[in-house]
Amino acid sequence: MFLYLNGTIVKEEEAVISPFDHGFLYGLGAFETFRVYNGHCFLLGDHINRLNLALKEMDIQYSVSMEQVKEIVQALLLKNKIQNARIRLNVSAGKAPLGLHGEAYEEPNVIVFINPLSKAGSELTEKEAILLKTPRNTPETAFRLKSHHYLNNIAGKKEMKNEPDAEGLFLTREGYMAEGLVSNIFWIKNEVLYTPDVNTGILNGITRQFVMKLAKNLKIVVVEGFFKPEELYDAEEVFLSNSIQEIVAISRVKNIASFAGAKGTITNKLFQEYQKVRERLLSITEI
């Protein structure tokens, strides 16, 4: 496969950055992962806005534009001869002296990775969830960035070593529902859609925001808050969201509770609405 590195498309095995990159040394970097459907970068504008906000928070002097990313993605699709893909747009702080750096980073490394995906399906998928013992860590700043700091997620993944196809669910240290390893979580009770508040310290996922907008357009009441796991266990439907897997129904929280899974009425309605627009929207504001 070919990737984009600082203005050039190169083979993956030929991509090189400095070992003094503070993205490598200190985890200073941010990224966005989004899906390309038949050449269309779904919700690209929202991903770019969140990335630019993270770069500003880290004092990385770089700003990504819509046209720039679209041009890079189209070049990678052409070079790799694919039309459906997973894209990771990554900006790390770049080279700087050893030690903690209190000044702005002015020479970041910009990398765009691409992986082929099969054509998006029309059927709602289903998996089970497992409640993790590993608690969700708190954000390093006032809100959680989609940054290189992923040890907490990896610790949760290691806890699930015998469950490779399930999704782990984090609680906060205070015992409130937080999010999945790579997803946000929703549940439905009495036709009301519930999801943890961003003030629990979760990532405000782009697909999370999109699902809430779809729900409101369908006149479904959406409630964000601080919820104990027992409130999730009492739900009729549960599902996860992320930019690559879209909406995934949850059949059960292992050894604790069962739900409607892929038969969930509201989950299916939201998935059907998702399918209608995934090859044309660039921003949540367009619906």
Run of H or E residues at 2: strand 2-5
Confidence of residue 27 (pLDDT cuts 50, 70, 90): very high
Task: Map residue 187 onto helix, strand or coil.
Answer: strand
φ, ψ for residue 99, nearest 5 deg: 110, 165
Q: Burial of 44 by CB count in 10 Å (0-12 exposed, 13-18 middle, 19+ buried)?
A: buried
Residues 212 and 264 in one domain: yes
Question: Does some domain include residue 286?
Answer: no
Which tokens hold the place of 189?
Answer: 């009770």
Q: What is the pLDDT of residue 162?
A: 83
DSSP character at residue 21? B
Last residue of a domain, one of 93, 116, 139: 116
Give residue 157's domain range: 125-279
Q: Residues with Cβ < 8 Å from 128, sequence gap 6 or more?
A: 166, 167, 250, 251, 252, 253, 254
Q: How many CA atoms lie within 13 A of 255 on its CB side?
A: 3
Please list the residues that pair with 203 across neighbouring strands: none
User: What residue has token string 């080279």?
Assistant: 95
Per residue in 238-271, pLDDT (tens digit) is 999 999 999 999 999 999 999 999 999 999 999 9
pTM: predicted TM-score of the whole model, two decimal places: 0.97
Question: Does some domain include residue 138?
Answer: yes
**Proportion of the chain in helix, strand, coil states, percent, rounded to 5:** 30, 30, 40
Output the average pLDDT for the chain: 97
Task: Map residue 228 onto helix, strand or coil.
Answer: coil
- Say which CATH number the domain at 150 has: 3.20.10.10
Task: Map residue 84 onto helix, strand or coil.
Answer: coil
Residues 255 and 149 in one domain: yes
Question: Does some domain include residue 284?
Answer: no
Share of the chain above pLDDT 90, in %: 98
Query: Is the pLDDT score of 161 beyond 90?
Result: no
Query: Is the pLDDT score of 277 beyond 90?
Result: yes
Question: Does some domain include residue 176?
Answer: yes
Residues 70 and 183 in one domain: no
Confidence of residue 63 (pLDDT cuts 50, 70, 90): very high
Mean pLDDT of 97-102: 94
Residues 129 and 39 in one domain: no
Q: What is the pLDDT of residue 208?
A: 98
Task: Map residue 226 onto helix, strand or coil.
Answer: coil
Tally the domains of the chain. 2
Question: Does some domain include residue 129?
Answer: yes
Last residue of a domain, one of 47, 82, 116: 116
